[in-house]
Amino acid sequence: MSIEITEALISHIATLARLGLSESEIAEIQGHFEKVLHYVEALDKLDTESVDPSIFTNDAINMLEQDSPHAPLGQELALKNGPEVDEDSFLVPRIIAEAGNEAGGGKASP
């Protein structure tokens, strides 16, 4: 195996991922990592010299439409699917409270 999967390595990866793992979970994950690496090593041994490194699995190509200028959407049409609208803007719930104020609905300020 090219890399040794140790409990310390699993703990380090868990710390980076901000996961709190128990000793039994670390041992279980260590076994999973080792199985994955063995599988990858088996794949590395395959002769792929004659295999086309194809990115696409079929012959489909992108059919892109030519860019062309056109009239923009009107404001009424652009806002018509909004759940709540106030004259010229969407109404959304406030998600960040201002200092001293509680979060609440209302028109979002710029």
**pLDDT digits over 93-105, tens only?**
888 877 665 555 5
Q: Which pair of structure tokens corresponds to residue 69?
A: 């200028």
Rg, the chain, Cα only: 27
pLDDT the model gives residue 108:
52
Closest CA to 10 of 41, 36, 19, 42: 19
Angle subtended by helix axes 7-16 and 23-44, to nearest 10: 100
Is the Cβ–Cβ distance between 29 and 21 less than 8 Å? yes
Domains and CATH numbers, the chain: 7-44 (1.10.20)
Residue 109 scores a pLDDT above 60: no
Is the Cβ–Cβ distance between 17 and 9 less than 8 Å? no
**Length of the chain, in residues:** 110
Residue 89 scores a pLDDT above 60: yes
pTM for the structure as a whole: 0.43
Query: How many C-beta atoms lie closer than 10 Å to residue 10's C-beta?
Result: 20
Using DSSP bridges, classify how beta strands 105-106 and 92-93 pair: parallel, antiparallel or unpaired: antiparallel
